[in-house]
């Protein structure tokens, strides 16, 4: 990137220990979840008009895959020792009937993930604006999940994920500014 400061720097993985606390947390498989975000960003990077925006989408898309791994680990730890009755009591009876305790990408209502969730307009300004909104939606979702539990280790993991969404939103705002500046100096019509 020709010596310029990157818009985004990756951080190390976050680990936590979650024991003996079953919580109805599903993989982020909804339209605003980590899987959709990762795939959306990794696809959108190709239509960004400058290297910095392309690199940002690559880095954040890759980090979102890491977030998906964190969530998968949390879900696994929260359900691995659960009985079928506990799964049912936690609202996961349908999941258990279909998948036992296997990880499966669905939203909080059990609706399976679909590629229809991935948006990529091809207009960098529209795509970055949508990405900002998506990060803010996930920030809110993580806060609401924090409000639903009293497990300190789970709260720590969710706070970490929530904070990363804030950082991503800020980086997308910076990229949006750079793209808008790019279009001011390059006439396309």
Q: Which residues are documented as binding site for Mn(2+)? A: 34, 64, 67, 135, 168
Q: Enumerate the known binding-site residues for Ca(2+).
A: 59
Residues 134 and 104: beta-carbon distance below 8 Å: no
d(CA 101, CA 95): 8
| Bind-site residues | 34, 59, 64, 67, 135, 168
Query: Which tokens belong to 120?
Result: 């990529």
The tokens for 155 are 């709260």
CA separation for the pair 1, 114 (Å, rounded): 34
Helix, strand, coil percentages in the chain from 3-state DSSP, rounded to 5: 60, 0, 35
């Amino acid at each position: 990137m020709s010596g310029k400061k990157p818009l985004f720097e990756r951080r190390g993985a976050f680990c936590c220990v979650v024991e003996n606390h079953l919580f109805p947390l599903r993989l982020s498989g909804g339209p605003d979840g980590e899987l959709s975000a990762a795939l959306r960003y990794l696809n959108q990077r190709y239509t960004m008009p400058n290297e910095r925006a392309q690199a940002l989408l690559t880095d954040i898309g890759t980090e979102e895959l890491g977030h998906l791994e964190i969530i998968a680990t949390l879900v696994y730890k929260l359900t691995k020792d659960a009985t079928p009755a506990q799964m049912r009591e936690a609202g996961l009876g349908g999941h258990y009937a279909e998948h036992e305790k296997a990880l499966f990408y669905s939203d909080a209502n059990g609706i399976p993930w679909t590629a229809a969730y991935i948006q990529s307009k091809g207009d960098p300004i529209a795509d970055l604006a949508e990405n900002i909104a998506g990060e803010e939606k996930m920030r809110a979702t993580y806060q609401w999940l924090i409000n639903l539990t009293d497990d300190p280790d789970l709260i720590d993991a969710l706070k970490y994920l929530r904070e990363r969404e804030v950082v991503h939103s800020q980086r997308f705002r910076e990229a949006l500014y750079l793209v808008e500046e790019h279009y001011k100096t390059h006439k396309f019509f």
